[in-house]
Each structure stands twice: as C-alpha cells, then as structure tokens.
Amino acid sequence: MLRAVFTFKHLALFGFSTSVCLACGADSSQGPSGPPPHLTIDVRYLSTFTAQQQSVITAAVDKWTRALSKDFGSFRFDYPANACFTGEPRLNENHHNPLIFISIGEIDGPNGSLALTKLCGISGRDTLPIISYIQLDQADLASMEAQGTFRGVITHEIGHTLGFNPGSYLPRNLTGGGTADPYFSGATARAEFTKHGAWYTGATVPLESRSGIGPNDPHWRYIVFGDELMVGEIAVGTRSPLSTITLGYFKDLGYEVDFSVADSYEVVPLFGGNRVVPHVTLAHDVDTIEPPAVLIPLSSR
C-alpha cells in the first residue's frame, strides 16, 4: 500500500551529501536574503536518480510552485547529521525556501509502502513545514514508473511536505467531526467543494474516515473524492488531478494561490461515474509521537 508516513521528530537537521537543488537558498556565508518573487522549493537528492525520474520530480515541483506563493521568511539551519532520518546530511546555512530531501531506499519490499514522508521542521510563525524528507521504496519504484503512477505519488508526497498534514491544519482549528465523519472546514476549500461537489450533502470537506484516526488522517475521503491528488488511494489509470479544492485548502493555510494551475476535476458520486479500483492505499500513516522542530524565522516581510 502507498503510505505517506509523517513522523514528527524533534530535530537536528541536515546538510547535504549527494544533493541536487531546485531553487537553492542562501549559502552559509551570507545573511538572510530577501523574499523570492514566488514560492520556490529546494530539492536535494540523497540517492542516484535517473534523468527521467528527476524530470518527473521537477515537473511535480513546478506544478506546486506555479500554484502556490508564499514568503516563508529566512531561517538559520545549523543541525548535525542523522537527527530526523537516517542518512540525513549535516546542515549549516541560511535558507529561505522549503527544503525537501528525497532518497530511494528499502522500506518494506514490493507492493507495500511506496513512499514515506517525514516532516522535520516547521515554521514557528505559521506551522507550515520548512524541512521535510521523502523516501521512495526501491522495491516499488520501477513498477510505479511502468504503471504511470510515479508522477501522482511524488506530487502527492510534495503536497504533504507543503502543509497537507494535521500538523499544519489542526493548530488552526480547521477540522472537526471526530473519527466518524472528520472534515476540513476552511472557507476557501468549502467554497470550491460546493462548486464541484454539489451532490454531497455535507457542509464541510470530508477527510478520510476509514483509518479511525479522524482529522489526523491527512487525505481527502476517497469514497467522496475518487480520483483526486490528495486522496489516500492510487491505481493504474488514475490522473491524480490537483483540484481547486486542494488549492483552496492551501489558501486556507495562508498561501497565495493561482487557481488557474488546477487540473480539471469534478467530485463524481460513487455510483454516478467511472471509478478506478485502487490497488494501493494509505491507512494509519500518520505518526505524531514527537512533534517536528519549531524554527523561528530570522526575517520576513
């Protein structure tokens, strides 16, 4: 099953080892830089990825950075290695952008967890993730590429690292419903859900209810949403579209959003349209035993 596992650790974070960056932050010899004109994401590879794999990851990053804008402020990263995850490099620099480390490693063998995501550091200003780690299971990577699901998986995981997780929305009191009918109550996501899912009788946006962890499940409810990027299911033949509902969610978290980047998507009733039967699922995938480190911005404007 596909599992995006969020292990909220106190930190000590990373430097870089075998790294490749997309929109890197300031280096350690300089003071905080000014805010970027739009959201940038610094991706550093800790494993050897093929050119094709990197192109898929780059496209996923580009999708999110075109859709979202935010000035996170500048942060000082000065942490030893191996504090948030095994194999993390030493980090000693000033940084302005969300930083994501990505690696390929052994998780649980074929047809199990496709990817694991850890949130390592969040902003003390707005609880949004600043440093995260995505690990792809080496036993499933080739099949994901062959089946055409790799793009959806990596775009989904990046969505978690940008704030689609309970550590970002619970402190804002944007959820409710307990374990039986958990929901997200942000005004923008609700408005977009009403536009594209008028058949649904609920007044709020349903989070996944099958895991038994209520609002702590960081996925839209599959039985309602079907094929959407942030549901906890994926299958061969799914598009995994980034909907205006998900972008509305991020607007409710404080991002500026370009809704024109969203993919075409309508919330199709379970028995009113074609549904692809998922072959992997996310279930009980949030570990909140320890919170991530809280990082205080050096500057913001």
**Mean pLDDT in each 10-residue stretch from start to end of the chain (301 residues)?**
42 38 40 56 97 98 96 92 92 93 90 86 94 92 93 94 94 95 96 90 88 91 92 87 98 97 91 61 57 82 45
Q: Which of 202, 187, 205 is nearest to 251 (CA)?
A: 187
Helices (H) and strands (E) in the chain, counts: 7, 16
Residue 291 is predicted with a pLDDT of: 81
Question: What residue type is 45 in one-letter code?
Answer: Y
> What fold does the segment set 169-281 form as a domain?
Leishmanolysin; domain 2 (3.90.132)
Residue 35: the pLDDT is 44
Contact 22, 41 (CB under 8 A): yes
Residue with tokens 């290695």: 81
- The length of the chain is 301
Cβ contacts of 86 within 8 Å, gap of 6 or more:
none
Q: What is the pLDDT of residue 230?
A: 94
Q: What is the tens place of the pLDDT at every residue in 63-105?
A: 999 999 999 989 999 989 998 899 999 999 999 889 999 999 9
3-state class (DSSP) for residue 281 = strand
pLDDT digits (tens, 9 = 90+) for 100-135: 999 999 988 887 788 889 999 999 999 999 999 999
Measured distance CA(37)–CA(30) in Å, rounded: 19
- Of 181, 206, 214, 218, nearest to 8 by C-alpha is 218
What values do phi and psi take at 52, rounded to 5? -65, -45
Could you list the beta-strand ranges (E) of 138-201.
175-176, 183-184
Specify the 3-state DSSP secondary structure of 30.
coil
The answer to whether residues 93 and 77 touch, using CB atoms and an 8 Å cutoff, is yes
Which ranges in the chain are annotated with CATH 3.10.170?
6-162+285-295
Count of CB atoms within 10 A of residue 45's CB?
A: 20
Contact 227, 266 (CB under 8 A): no
Spatial CB neighbours of 55, under 8 Å, sequence gap ≥ 6: none
Which ranges in the chain are annotated with CATH 3.90.132.10? 169-281
Class of domain 6-162+285-295: alpha beta
pTM of the model: 0.87
Asked whether 267 and 96 are in contact (CB, 8 A), the reply is no
- Phi, psi (5° rounding) for residue 77? -105, 115
